[in-house]
Structure 1
C-alpha cells in the first residue's frame, strides 16, 4: 500500500470551507437587514414556506425545509411564542398538527419580502446573472 503524500490541504480553497464561509456571510447580511425583526434565517425560511402554503403539517414543513423534526419543533415553538404561527390539530390525522400563520405572521410577508430581496441582492452583488444561475444549479446538485 502506498503511503499518502504529505501535501497540506489548501483549506482556503476547500469546497466545504468556502461553502461555510459563504453561509456565514449570508447569515451576517441577513442579520443586518432583519435585525429589528428578531428572526433567524431558519425561522424566516419557515415563514416563507408558510406564506406560500399556509397550514401544512409540521412533518411536511420539516421535509420541505430539510430540517430535522426535533429542530423543527423548537423553531415552531419560537415562532409561536412571537405570535407568528400557531399549531392546530390536523383534521385528517389526530396525531399531527398543522402549522398556521397568525394574522401577525401573514402581515409580515409583504413587509419582509422586499427586505429579503435586498439582502439577497447584497449577498450576490459581485456575481453576474448567469453566475447566479450556475451557482444555484450547482448547489442544488450538491444538496440532492
Structure 2
C-alpha cells in the first residue's frame, strides 16, 4: 500500500498557505472591524459596484447563504448597503457606501504589503508562476 504523508500533500500545503495569508491580512484589518473574507468582498465591489447578491456570490465563489451573513456584517459597520434591484424586485444590489468606497486605497495598500512580505523570498517570476499554477488548479 502506498504511503501518504499529509504534510507533503498539495491540499494541506495550500490550506496552510491560505491560513497564513488570511491571518496576516486579518491582523492588519482588525482596526477596521472587518475580516479577510469581508475584505475580499469589498475588493470585488471596488472592481465593480452595484452587483446583485447572486453576481457577487458567483464572482467570489461563496454560497449565497454565507454571502448574506457577510453582507449583513459589512452593512452593520457601514461599508455596504443593499438596494432593491430596479430590474428584479425579488433581488437586491450590493452597493458600497461612501465609507466603504473611501477605504479602497488604504485597505488595498495593506493587502499589497502582506503580499510583498509573504512573497519576499520568492525569486523573480515565481509569484506570477504560482498564480498561473493556482489558476490551473481552480479549473
Paired position in structure 1 for 2:105? 110
d(CA) in 2 for partners of 1:97 and 1:54?
A: 13
Deviates more, 1:49-58 or 1:31-40: 31-40
Q: 1:69 aligns with which of 56, 64, 68?
A: 64
Deviation at 1:137, TM superposition (A): 0.7
In the superposition, the TM-score normalised over structure 2's length comes to 0.95
Q: CA deviation at 1:63?
A: 0.4
Is residue 51 of structure 1 aligned with residue 46 of structure 2?
A: yes
Q: Matched residues in 2 for 1:113 and 1:83: separation?
A: 18
By how many angstroms is 1:129 displaced? Answer: 3.1
For each residue in 1:22-70, what CA deviation from the matched residue of structure 2 results, as whole angstroms up to 9, or x when unmatched? Answer: 0111112112222211211110011011111111111000000000111
**Structure 2 residue ranges without an equivalent (≥5):** none
- Structure 1 position 101 matched with structure 2 position 96: yes
Unaligned runs of 5+ in 1: none
Moved over 4 A (4+): none
Larger radius of gyration: 1
- Are residues 1:17 and 2:12 paired? yes
| Number of equivalences | 139
Query: Which of 33, 37, 46 is residue 42 of structure 1 equivalent to?
Result: 37
**What TM-score, normalized to structure 1?**
0.92
Conservation of the 8 A alpha-carbon contact between 2:33 and 2:77: no
